[in-house]
Each structure stands twice: as structure tokens, then as C-alpha cells.
Structure 1
Amino acid sequence: MPRIDRVPAARAGLLARLCYRFSRRRYGAVLDPVAVTAHHPKLLLAAGLGELAVQRAARVLPASVRELAVYRTATRIGCSWCVDFGTMLQRDEGLDVERLREIEDHRTSPKFTELDRLVIEYADAMTDLPVRVTDEQVAELDRRLGHRGLVELTHMIAVENQRTRFNHALGLTAQGFTSGEACRAPTP
């Protein structure tokens, strides 16, 4: 249960109602982070525009790499809302969500490539406190992904850190987008 109430549609301003309509059309439900952020319309606008801009700009990496990094960040922090939503996004993109069950065993699981392992380790290093990213990690990912790919990967992990910490702090939990799939995926 959220630590602060969602803004109901009947009390929502014009911007929030537009966001609710967009959310329902795109995802089949009003996203809880949107309904909570509606308490602050200017931040709702900023967050919404930021999310749309990131979504349109992040096209260098293959979706499987980008979404794996985002998902791993959510599991590392332990945001069940983000795990649930992220699993749905991966499923809807036709990605292998079954492998997510083995993410804790990524070093040995045949479901993960060497690049996947590097991406997961990088997401872990960026998410851990203190941050423990090494020059070697950056150099290897830059070699494999190029500057644009590395910047995109780093940005996506940083953005997911922001999302998950916001959701976790405000008590937003799984919204049921994956009908239990996310519950089977590991979280710390």
C-alpha cells in the first residue's frame, strides 16, 4: 500500500487526467507512480516529459540489453513495482522473461551471454552504495557497445535507480501487470 494516497481521477487536475487517460490506453491501468506524482502537477509534467524523451532517445542498444539493465537495477534495489512493470515491458517486447528467474545465477546460467553478464555486473556496480564502477568495466563495455551505447546504458541504469528509489520510498508495490510472473522473478 502506498505511503501516500493516489490522487483519484475525480480530484485530479487536467494534466493528471490526461496522464491517466494515456496510461490506461497504453498500459491498461493508471500507473501508481503517476497517480502518486499527481499530487505535484509540475513534477508530474517534468517526469512524464522526461520518460517520453528517454523512451524515444534510447534506441542505440538492443532492447534485450537495455531492459535487462533496467530490470536488474529494479531487482537490486528491491522495487516490486518496477520488477512487475519491467517484466511486462519485456514480455510485451517479445523478450525472454523466463531467464529473469535465473538472474541471480547470471554468472553460470546459459540463459545469459557474456555481454549480459557484463551489463548485469555494471548495473550492480552503479546501483550499489558506494558506487563501485571500475575503469575496466567501463573500458570493456565501451569496447563492446561504443561510446553511444555505453552512455545509453549508463543513463538507463541511472534513470531506473531514480524510479526504483522513488517507488520504494513511497511504498509502491507490484500492480499486477504480469499476473504473477514478476512474483516468480527474484528480488533481493
Structure 2
Amino acid sequence: MYSIYPRARERIYHYVGFVLALHIGAHATHTFTHLTIPVTLPTPLTVFTIFVVFIAPVGGFLLLLRGDSLFGGIIFVASMAISLALGGTFHFVLQNPDHVSSVPNGVLGFTFEMTAVAVALIDLVGSILGGLVIWAQTSNLPVSLRQSGRISGLPSSGFRPLTRFTYWFSKRIFGEVPEPVTIMAHNNQILWGTSAFEMALDRAGHVDERLKELTVLKAAKVIGCDFCVDIGTSEAQDLGIPHEQLAELHRFEESDAFNELERLVLRYAVAVSTTPTDVPDGMYDELSTNFDEAEMVELTAAIAFENYRARFNHAFEIKSQGFSEGGLCPRMEEPPTVQE
């Protein structure tokens, strides 16, 4: 028996159950259209097909409901994969009366063709989903679960295939799973919502990546997020931001390492990160002469999102994780406040 998180188990069961319902419905409809197709299968093959298409996936799902995630997942993915192979062979490969090109025209013929495609797609999704179930139970994903702050990260073990995929993907990018990811994993909606927004920011592409990274790193330093400065420095180095700029970021106004546009966006990062936010009209007007509306939205969203991440990490007292190997800009800054 495997250690399974109840809420995650219930959610993955919903996915499997939904795919199973689509699988049975599509195959039942396709079987009905076969009444008009003169295809005669040997009795053993007919029995085998009925078992694979209808009995085995239901049995695998019932095993999942009983808590046998590994064996149930194996049966489920095997039945889906074999069903996909059989359907693909008879409907799209072998030239026989069952081939989609041999089906007579008409309503039933059209239904036959559409359900043949539908069952192939559904069985493919079912095979992938079943594979995730098996992978979640058998893969060995070592994750260093640090507890530098107030809450421990969610272990990679257990019945959360999508979370385990996030851990695996993060580990490939950063070398280890960032601690905030393991903490957000306690709430899948927050984890995936945050990840989706971060990917959207990365792919927005209106603002120069290095300029955007400088503003994000400046916001992290202003708020005083150890983790954000650590990982942000590492990402800045990967983008080729000069070492001098990283070292002089705390005194960008006086440093010759920055040009006027860089100083302007860094002032904006400080202004947006001020409590309460204080962006003077003059500053915004100057920004508007250098950036169009789409660029302003992206730049502001990047700074605001870093405020979210930094304050999230601050609240949980998440410390640096060594991504920048001692980084070039460890100096934190006093968070500015506006006096009322």
C-alpha cells in the first residue's frame, strides 16, 4: 500500500474516471456503428477486444479506488495502450472493411469515422494519464526538502503526478527544486496559477529580458527577500548581465555601470515596491516616452509579481538556497516607505 494524499488522490481519480467515461462512451458508440460494417472477427479476438476495451480499464479504475495505485495504474494504462494499438491498426493501417476509408457514406459512416478518431485520441490521453499514475508511484525523485522557514515543503512522494512533474521540471532547470515550489505544492491551485503567470511573463517578450531581470532583482533587494535575490542573481548571470551591474545594483544612481534607461526602470522598480506604492507622474511620463502600453504592462507586471513572490517568501521566512553560489549582490536594502 502506498502513501497517498487524500485530496490529490480524489482529484486524480476524477481525471481517470472522466477519461474512462469518455473511453466507454466513444467505444460503445463506435461499436454501434459497427452494425453496418461487415467485419467478422475470430471469437477469441472478439472476446479479447471486449476484455481490453471495456472490462480491463474498469477493473483498473476500481483498483485505484481501493487504493492500489500501482497495480491499478498498470492495468489501466495497459488496457488503454492495447486498445489504442488495436484501433489504430484496424482503422488506419490495415486495408480491410474496418478501415475508415472503406466505410460507406452516410450518417453512420460519418459517425464511424469520427468515433474511430475519438477513441484513438481518448485512448492516447488515457495511456498518458495512466503512465503518470505509475510514474508517481515508482519514480525516485530525490528532493531536498529544506525547512529554512515556517513551513516544510510537500514531499515528492505520494499521489500527485502533476506536482511531481513540476518538481522534476524545476530540478532540470535549477539543479534542485526551489523551496517556494515545494511550499506552494500544499495548494495545487496556487502552485499552478503562480507557475502559469510566471511562464506568461517569461514569454511576453515585449521588454528586453536583461532590463526586465534587473528591475525584478531590484524589487527583490528592496523588499529584502533572501531567496529572491539568490535565485534572481543566478538568472541574471545566465542572461549575461554584467558582474559590475550586479555588484553596483544597490547604488545604481551613482554607478557608471548603468545607462539612463536602466536607471529609469530601476527607479520605477523602487517606486512600485515602496509601501505604499509611490509612482510620481513625472516618472510615469518619462517611462511612457520610452515604452509603449504593452511594454509598460509587462514591466509593471514583472515588478508587481516579484513583490508577490518576495512577500510570499518573506512571510514564510524562506532563505537563500545557494543558486548563485554566493552571488554578487547579497546586499539587502531598507524597504522604502512613504510618510503620510
Match of 1:40 among 166, 171, 187: 187
1:116 is the counterpart of 2:262:
yes
Cα shift at 1:41: 1.4
- What residue in structure 1 maps to residue 48 of structure 2? none
- The 2-side partners of 1:42 and 1:14 are apart by 14
- The 2-side partners of 1:118 and 1:12 are apart by 48
- What residue in structure 1 maps to residue 234 of structure 2? 88
- The 2-side partners of 1:45 and 1:158 are apart by 18
1:107 is the counterpart of 2:256:
no
- What residue in structure 1 maps to residue 88 of structure 2? none
Greater relative contact order, per chain length (Cα 8 Å cut-off, separation 6+)? 1
- What residue in structure 2 maps to residue 164 of structure 1? 310
| TM-score computed with the length of structure 2 as normaliser | 0.53
Match of 1:149 among 285, 291, 295: 295
* Counterpart contact for 1:103–1:186, Cα < 8 Å: no
* Counterpart contact for 2:201–2:298, Cα < 8 Å: no
- Where structure 1 has 5 or more consecutive residues not aligned to the other structure, the ranges are none
- What residue in structure 2 maps to residue 28 of structure 1? 175
Match of 1:134 among 276, 280, 284: 280
* Counterpart contact for 1:100–1:185, Cα < 8 Å: no
- Between the two proteins, the alignment pairs up a number of residues equal to 186
Cα shift at 1:106: 1.0
* Counterpart contact for 2:170–2:177, Cα < 8 Å: yes
- The 2-side partners of 1:171 and 1:105 are apart by 26
* Counterpart contact for 1:80–1:173, Cα < 8 Å: yes
* Counterpart contact for 1:100–1:186, Cα < 8 Å: no
Match of 2:210 among 64, 73, 82: 64
Deviations 1:38-86 (A, max 9, x none): 11112112112221122112x1111221011100000000001000111
Give secondary structure in 2 for the equivalent of 1:128: coil
Cα shift at 1:148: 2.0
Give secondary structure in 2 for the equivalent of 1:10: coil
- What residue in structure 2 maps to residue 78 of structure 1? 224
Cα shift at 1:12: 6.3
Moved more, 143-152 or 113-122: 143-152
Moved more, 69-78 or 127-136: 127-136
Runs of 4+ in 1 over 4 A off after TM superposition: none
- The 2-side partners of 1:149 and 1:63 are apart by 12
- The 2-side partners of 1:147 and 1:35 are apart by 35
Deviations 1:145-166 (A, max 9, x none): 2222222111111111111000
- The 1-side partners of 2:231 and 2:173 are apart by 13
Give secondary structure in 1 for the equivalent of 2:292: helix
- What residue in structure 2 maps to residue 15 of structure 1? 162
Cα shift at 1:136: 1.0
- The 1-side partners of 2:201 and 2:270 are apart by 21
Identical amino acids, percent of aligned pairs: 38
